[in-house]
Amino acid sequence: MNKNIEHVAEIEKELRYVSSLIKQKGREILSNYKITPPQFVALQFLFEDGDMTIGELSTKMFLAFSTTTDLIDRMERNELVMRVKDEKDRRVVRIHLLEEGGRIIDEVIKKRQHYLSDVLSNFSDTEIASLNENLAKLHQEMREE
């Protein structure tokens, strides 16, 4: 049991370091674009999950509604997203990803994947598959918490 605690402490530390390095590299990549890190996160949610309300986006981003509204206002001015009325309920406004927003997010994600591919170049195919499987399992367990 004691050995397990040591492993858990080491895993937590390594995940923290990896997360920090990925965030740093992500910010370097973003510096070539006209979006901020929070805008990237918002665009990523819209890119992956589709149209959503500001309330839904606020919840996903752990931001206040007013902060998310300001974020969307700036992104709308830069023609990355637009507000659209829900087809089923005209009182509901959804945030829709525009072509430029989709292009930027796709490009940034591909650059991040290229970076990770370079980092993994010294890993065997088996190690990469194992890492992918274990990270997916960890992610699943965390979502179920």
Q: Where are the domains of the chain?
A: 2-144
Which CATH fold topology does 2-144 show?
Answer: Arc Repressor Mutant, subunit A (1.10.10)
User: Per-residue confidence at 145, pLDDT binned at 50, 70, 90?
Assistant: confident
User: Per-residue confidence at 86, pLDDT binned at 50, 70, 90?
Assistant: confident
Give the C-alpha separation, 80 to 103, whole Å: 9
Q: Which tens digit of pLDDT belongs to each residue from 93-120?
A: 999 999 999 999 999 999 999 999 999 9
What is the residue type of 20? S
Give the C-alpha separation, 12 to 87, whole Å: 45
3-state secondary structure of 81: strand
Both structure tokens of 51: 């149209």
Cβ contact 68:46 at 8 Å: no
Q: Where are the beta strands (DSSP E) in 1-145?
A: 81-85, 93-97
